[in-house]
Protein backbone atom coordinates (compact mmCIF):
# COMPACT_ATOMS: atom_id res chain seq x y z
CA UNK A 1 0.00 0.00 0.00
CA UNK A 2 1.19 3.51 -0.72
CA UNK A 3 0.92 6.03 2.10
CA UNK A 4 -1.91 7.73 0.20
CA UNK A 5 -3.94 4.53 0.08
CA UNK A 6 -3.32 3.92 3.74
CA UNK A 7 -4.53 7.38 4.59
CA UNK A 8 -7.66 6.81 2.49
CA UNK A 9 -8.24 3.57 4.33
CA UNK A 10 -7.77 5.26 7.64
CA UNK A 11 -9.50 3.36 10.46
CA UNK A 12 -11.13 6.44 11.89
CA UNK A 13 -12.85 7.10 8.55
CA UNK A 14 -15.14 4.28 9.43
CA UNK A 15 -15.79 5.35 13.01
CA UNK A 16 -15.53 2.11 14.87
CA UNK A 17 -16.65 -0.23 12.14
CA UNK A 18 -15.65 -3.87 12.32
CA UNK A 19 -12.74 -3.51 9.86
CA UNK A 20 -10.70 -1.83 12.58
CA UNK A 21 -8.84 -4.14 14.89
CA UNK A 22 -8.67 -1.46 17.57
CA UNK A 23 -10.62 -1.60 20.81
CA UNK A 24 -13.50 0.69 21.58
CA UNK A 25 -13.36 2.51 24.93
CA UNK A 26 -16.32 3.76 26.97
CA UNK A 27 -15.97 5.74 30.17
CA UNK A 28 -19.22 6.60 31.94
CA UNK A 29 -19.55 9.14 34.73
CA UNK A 30 -16.17 8.14 36.10
CA UNK A 31 -14.52 9.60 39.18
CA UNK A 32 -11.07 8.89 40.57
CA UNK A 33 -10.33 9.98 44.13
CA UNK A 34 -7.22 9.60 46.23
CA UNK A 35 -8.42 10.01 49.79
CA UNK A 36 -10.02 13.44 49.94
CA UNK A 37 -8.49 14.53 46.63
CA UNK A 38 -10.83 14.23 43.65
CA UNK A 39 -8.67 14.04 40.53
CA UNK A 40 -11.33 13.06 37.97
CA UNK A 41 -15.07 13.49 38.21
CA UNK A 42 -18.18 13.17 36.03
CA UNK A 43 -15.95 12.07 33.20
CA UNK A 44 -17.63 10.66 30.08
CA UNK A 45 -15.55 9.57 27.12
CA UNK A 46 -16.25 7.24 24.23
CA UNK A 47 -13.41 6.40 21.87
CA UNK A 48 -14.43 4.57 18.68
CA UNK A 49 -12.28 1.64 17.59
CA UNK A 50 -9.25 2.81 15.65
CA UNK A 51 -9.42 6.45 16.64
CA UNK A 52 -6.32 8.49 17.50
CA UNK A 53 -7.33 10.58 20.50
CA UNK A 54 -5.13 13.16 22.18
CA UNK A 55 -5.71 14.26 25.77
CA UNK A 56 -4.33 17.69 26.64
CA UNK A 57 -4.43 19.78 29.78
CA UNK A 58 -2.27 21.54 32.34
CA UNK A 59 0.22 19.71 34.45
CA UNK A 60 -1.56 18.05 37.37
CA UNK A 61 -5.02 18.13 35.77
CA UNK A 62 -5.30 14.33 35.80
CA UNK A 63 -4.13 13.23 32.34
CA UNK A 64 -1.91 10.43 33.60
CA UNK A 65 -4.61 9.32 36.00
CA UNK A 66 -7.06 9.10 33.10
CA UNK A 67 -4.54 7.08 31.07
CA UNK A 68 -3.94 4.74 34.01
CA UNK A 69 -7.69 4.34 34.37
CA UNK A 70 -7.93 3.29 30.70
CA UNK A 71 -4.96 0.96 31.17
CA UNK A 72 -6.66 -0.78 34.09
CA UNK A 73 -3.88 0.41 36.42
CA UNK A 74 -6.27 2.64 38.36
CA UNK A 75 -9.75 1.83 39.66
CA UNK A 76 -12.67 4.21 39.15
CA UNK A 77 -14.01 5.38 42.53
CA UNK A 78 -17.32 5.82 40.76
CA UNK A 79 -18.75 5.11 37.30
CA UNK A 80 -17.52 2.57 34.79
CA UNK A 81 -14.78 1.94 32.27
CA UNK A 82 -15.30 -0.55 29.50
CA UNK A 83 -12.63 -1.64 27.04
CA UNK A 84 -13.77 -3.47 23.92
CA UNK A 85 -17.21 -3.87 25.47
CA UNK A 86 -15.93 -5.56 28.65
CA UNK A 87 -15.79 -3.95 32.08
CA UNK A 88 -12.19 -2.97 32.83
CA UNK A 89 -10.52 -5.33 35.30
CA UNK A 90 -6.80 -4.78 35.48
CA UNK A 91 -4.20 -4.64 32.73
CA UNK A 92 -5.15 -6.61 29.61
CA UNK A 93 -2.74 -8.33 27.28
CA UNK A 94 -4.09 -6.43 24.28
CA UNK A 95 -3.54 -3.03 25.91
CA UNK A 96 -0.06 -1.48 26.16
CA UNK A 97 1.23 1.71 27.71
CA UNK A 98 4.26 3.79 26.72
CA UNK A 99 5.65 6.33 29.19
CA UNK A 100 7.85 9.42 28.95
CA UNK A 101 10.81 7.49 30.33
CA UNK A 102 11.45 4.38 28.28
CA UNK A 103 11.62 2.14 31.38
CA UNK A 104 14.05 -0.28 29.75
CA UNK A 105 15.86 -2.82 31.89
CA UNK A 106 19.52 -1.74 31.82
CA UNK A 107 20.87 -5.28 32.35
CA UNK A 108 19.06 -6.65 29.32
CA UNK A 109 19.97 -6.16 25.67
CA UNK A 110 17.78 -4.09 23.37
CA UNK A 111 16.35 -7.28 21.88
CA UNK A 112 15.64 -8.84 25.29
CA UNK A 113 13.89 -5.65 26.40
CA UNK A 114 11.54 -5.99 23.44
CA UNK A 115 11.06 -9.72 24.08
CA UNK A 116 9.59 -8.83 27.48
CA UNK A 117 6.60 -7.40 25.64
CA UNK A 118 5.54 -10.61 23.93
CA UNK A 119 4.27 -13.90 25.23
CA UNK A 120 6.99 -16.51 25.40
CA UNK A 121 9.61 -13.85 24.62
CA UNK A 122 9.25 -14.62 20.91
CA UNK A 123 12.61 -13.67 19.38
CA UNK A 124 11.46 -13.42 15.77
CA UNK A 125 8.57 -11.15 16.70
CA UNK A 126 10.86 -8.98 18.82
CA UNK A 127 13.28 -8.58 15.91
CA UNK A 128 10.41 -7.74 13.62
CA UNK A 129 9.22 -5.05 16.05
CA UNK A 130 12.75 -3.62 16.21
CA UNK A 131 12.76 -3.53 12.43
CA UNK A 132 9.49 -1.59 12.48
CA UNK A 133 11.09 1.15 14.57
CA UNK A 134 14.32 1.06 12.54
CA UNK A 135 16.57 -0.42 15.24
CA UNK A 136 17.08 -4.03 14.18
CA UNK A 137 20.81 -3.40 13.81
CA UNK A 138 21.07 -2.40 17.50
CA UNK A 139 19.43 -5.57 18.84
CA UNK A 140 22.49 -6.84 20.70
CA UNK A 141 23.46 -3.57 22.36
CA UNK A 142 22.74 -2.32 25.90
CA UNK A 143 20.08 0.35 26.33
CA UNK A 144 22.67 2.63 27.95
CA UNK A 145 24.53 3.18 24.65
CA UNK A 146 21.40 4.43 22.87
CA UNK A 147 20.22 8.02 22.58
CA UNK A 148 17.00 9.10 24.32
CA UNK A 149 15.11 8.94 21.04
CA UNK A 150 16.41 5.45 20.30
CA UNK A 151 15.43 4.29 23.77
CA UNK A 152 11.91 5.55 23.13
CA UNK A 153 11.92 3.57 19.87
CA UNK A 154 12.83 0.45 21.82
CA UNK A 155 9.98 1.19 24.25
CA UNK A 156 7.69 1.59 21.25
CA UNK A 157 8.87 -1.74 19.82
CA UNK A 158 8.22 -3.40 23.20
CA UNK A 159 4.72 -1.89 23.26
CA UNK A 160 4.01 -3.02 19.69
CA UNK A 161 5.52 -6.48 19.70
CA UNK A 162 2.33 -8.10 21.00
CA UNK A 163 0.29 -6.25 18.37
CA UNK A 164 -1.94 -4.45 20.91
CA UNK A 165 -5.43 -3.25 20.08
CA UNK A 166 -5.20 -0.22 22.35
CA UNK A 167 -1.99 1.75 22.75
CA UNK A 168 -1.78 4.38 25.48
CA UNK A 169 0.97 7.00 25.35
CA UNK A 170 1.80 9.14 28.39
CA UNK A 171 3.86 12.08 27.09
CA UNK A 172 6.14 9.66 25.23
CA UNK A 173 7.99 12.42 23.39
CA UNK A 174 8.19 14.93 26.23
CA UNK A 175 11.89 14.43 26.93
CA UNK A 176 13.08 14.46 23.32
CA UNK A 177 14.64 17.28 21.31
CA UNK A 178 12.46 18.92 18.66
CA UNK A 179 13.80 17.06 15.62
CA UNK A 180 13.74 13.66 17.29
CA UNK A 181 10.21 14.42 18.44
CA UNK A 182 9.07 15.04 14.87
CA UNK A 183 10.68 11.79 13.72
CA UNK A 184 8.95 9.91 16.53
CA UNK A 185 5.61 11.54 15.72
CA UNK A 186 5.94 10.36 12.13
CA UNK A 187 6.88 6.89 13.28
CA UNK A 188 3.93 6.66 15.67
CA UNK A 189 1.59 7.87 12.95
CA UNK A 190 2.92 5.36 10.42
CA UNK A 191 2.58 2.48 12.87
CA UNK A 192 -0.94 3.56 13.79
CA UNK A 193 -1.92 3.69 10.10
CA UNK A 194 -0.45 0.23 9.51
CA UNK A 195 -1.57 -1.54 12.65
CA UNK A 196 -4.95 0.14 13.14
CA UNK A 197 -4.90 0.08 16.93
CA UNK A 198 -6.86 2.59 18.97
CA UNK A 199 -4.43 5.26 20.22
CA UNK A 200 -4.68 7.61 23.19
CA UNK A 201 -1.89 10.16 23.51
CA UNK A 202 -1.53 12.27 26.63
CA UNK A 203 0.50 15.41 26.02
CA UNK A 204 0.78 18.96 27.29
CA UNK A 205 1.88 19.96 23.77
CA UNK A 206 -1.21 21.10 21.88
CA UNK A 207 0.58 21.28 18.52
CA UNK A 208 1.68 17.67 18.92
CA UNK A 209 -1.89 16.69 19.75
CA UNK A 210 -3.23 18.38 16.64
CA UNK A 211 -0.45 16.96 14.46
CA UNK A 212 -1.20 13.37 15.42
CA UNK A 213 -4.77 13.02 16.55
CA UNK A 214 -8.21 12.86 14.93
CA UNK A 215 -9.68 14.31 18.03
CA UNK A 216 -8.40 16.31 20.97
CA UNK A 217 -10.02 16.46 24.39
CA UNK A 218 -9.08 19.01 27.04
CA UNK A 219 -9.11 17.97 30.70
CA UNK A 220 -9.90 20.75 33.18
CA UNK A 221 -11.14 20.53 36.75
CA UNK A 222 -11.15 16.77 36.60
CA UNK A 223 -13.39 16.46 33.58
CA UNK A 224 -13.45 16.90 29.82
CA UNK A 225 -14.18 20.54 29.11
CA UNK A 226 -13.60 20.52 25.34
CA UNK A 227 -13.85 17.85 22.68
CA UNK A 228 -12.57 18.85 19.26
CA UNK A 229 -12.49 16.86 16.01
CA UNK A 230 -9.37 17.54 13.99
CA UNK A 231 -9.53 14.87 11.30
CA UNK A 232 -9.76 17.50 8.56
CA UNK A 233 -6.34 18.76 9.57
CA UNK A 234 -4.76 15.46 8.58
CA UNK A 235 -4.33 15.60 4.71
CA UNK A 236 -1.58 17.11 2.52
CA UNK A 237 1.07 18.29 4.93
CA UNK A 238 0.81 14.94 6.75
CA UNK A 239 1.02 13.05 3.53
CA UNK A 240 4.23 14.70 2.39
CA UNK A 241 5.84 14.37 5.80
CA UNK A 242 4.97 10.72 5.77
CA UNK A 243 6.46 10.07 2.33
CA UNK A 244 9.54 12.06 3.19
CA UNK A 245 10.01 10.01 6.31
CA UNK A 246 9.68 6.72 4.49
CA UNK A 247 12.15 7.62 1.79
CA UNK A 248 14.73 9.47 3.83
CA UNK A 249 14.86 7.74 7.18
CA UNK A 250 13.70 4.16 6.82
Q: Which is nearer to ligand ADP, 61 or 166 (CB)?
A: 61
Report what 59 binds from ligand ADP, Mg ion, none; CB cut-off 5-8 Å by kind.
ligand ADP
Tell me: does residue 64 bind Mg ion (CB under 5 A): yes
Q: Which is nearer to ligand ADP, 60 or 106 (CB)?
A: 60
Q: Work out the angle at residue 186's Cα, subtended by the Cα atoms of residues 52 and 203, and round it to the nearest 5 degrees.
A: 50
Cα–Cα distance, 22 to 52 (Å, whole number) = 10
Asked if 194 and 186 touch (Cβ cutoff 8 Å), the reply is no
Tell me: does residue 61 bind ligand ADP (CB under 6 A): yes
Q: Which of 164, 120, 158, 167 is nearest to 139 (CA)?
A: 158
Q: Work out the angle at residue 190's Cα, subtended by the Cα atoms of residues 58 and 111, and round it to the nearest 5 degrees.
A: 90
Binding pattern for the stretch 19-38 against ligand ADP, x by CB under 6 A and - elsewhere: ---------------x--x-
Query: What are the residues whose beta carbons fall under 8 Å from the beta carbon of 168, sequence distance 6 or more?
Result: 67, 70, 71, 95, 96, 97, 98, 199, 200, 202
Tell me: does residue 65 bind ligand ADP (CB under 6 A): yes
Report what 222 binds from Mg ion, ligand ADP, none; CB cut-off 5-8 Å by kind.
none
Tell me: does residue 203 bind ligand ADP (CB under 6 A): no
Binding site for ligand ADP (CB under 6 A): 34, 37, 39, 57, 59-65
Binding site for Mg ion (CB under 5 A): 64
Amino acid sequence: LSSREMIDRHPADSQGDSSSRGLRVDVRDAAVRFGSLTVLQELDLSIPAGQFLAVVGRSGCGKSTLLRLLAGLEQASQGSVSIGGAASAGLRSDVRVMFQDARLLPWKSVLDNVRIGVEGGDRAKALEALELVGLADRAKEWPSVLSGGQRQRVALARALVSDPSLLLFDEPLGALDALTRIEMQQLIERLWLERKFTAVLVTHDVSEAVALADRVVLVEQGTISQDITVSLARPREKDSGFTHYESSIL
